[in-house]
Homo-oligomer: A and B are copies of this chain.
């Protein structure tokens, strides 16, 4: 297998890795050149700038996942409908340079007459499957827009998006709660966090539960430095409340700061988790590349 360059090109950043034929990551790079910073027509130049030296050899293959394949990106690689595995994704690749550089399509699914979408997370899920040797299960990707992904027989069956990270930031920075919460994020107060997780489950609506951050402060029942952790527990707890109670174990994929919180919240609710980080993206893109029949 020839050398391979994996690129995860999101809204606000770009990460790239050079990977050898055996799947080993040889080098990594990160840049702030997310798609929002790239003018129309500027995508080939930015890729060249960041990893042109890796792409010198004509035999090198480069797969790009994430928002670079969206309508606002390099070129649209239309969403592939679930259920989808490597075969469907490979078919949906949008080649910007034939047999050299391709954009990986995102996935879409439909539930109750409403579509849902993801771009980039599907690659992490496939990477996690490959790394863990699993072909079934629930994969959770916490973030601005968290994804819960249901996998069966090595294919993504369906998934759901939760605006958890974004809503936490909005409540923390722009709502009435911002007046009560300290500006500094501080370290996680585990007791307050798990109290929030449990209250979210009991209350069954964040619209109501979020107000408790204010009243607990008002009555001196939670110290100021614990309020941010409590609110984080409420919002993550609201996401976790929605899971099928039959799910007793999930795979978490994301940054350590987030997966640590989710693992604690899940444990509080009686659900175990295994955790993966960045390596899932590289592995997913590399594993996808292995399935392509290229000369």
- A-to-B contact residues, CB < 8 Å: 112, 114-117, 145, 160-164, 166-167, 170-171, 174-176, 199, 202-208, 210-212, 215-216, 218-219, 221, 235, 238-239, 241-242
Contacts and interface: CB of A to CB of B under 8 A. Distances in A.
B175 A114 contact: no
Contacts of A170: 170-171, 174-175
A202 B113 CA distance: 11
Contact of A207 (B162, B174, B176): B162
Given A174-B174, A175-B163, A114 B207 contact: no
A208 B166 CA distance: 12
Contacts of A235: 207
Contact of A205 (B116, B162, B199, B221): B162
B163 A211 contact: yes
Number of copies: 2
Given A112-B199, A112-B203, A211 B175 contact: no
A39 to B, nearest CB: 18
B163 A207 contact: yes
B218 A115 contact: yes
Given A170-B171, A170-B175, A206-B206, A116 B211 contact: yes
Contact of A211 (B145, B171, B221, B238): B145
A128 to B, nearest CB: 22
Nearest to A236: B207
A202 B242 CA distance: 12
Nearest to A175: B166
A221 to B, nearest CB: 7
A241 B163 CA distance: 19
Nearest to A179: B72
A161 B202 CA distance: 15
Contacts of A163: 175-176, 207-208, 210-211
Nearest to A113: B199
A117 B238 contact: no
B206 A205 contact: yes
Given A114-B215, A211-B162, A238 B203 contact: no
A157 B175 CA distance: 28
A216 B171 contact: no
Contacts of A242: 204-205, 207-208
A54 to B, nearest CB: 32
B199 A114 contact: yes
A215 B114 CA distance: 8
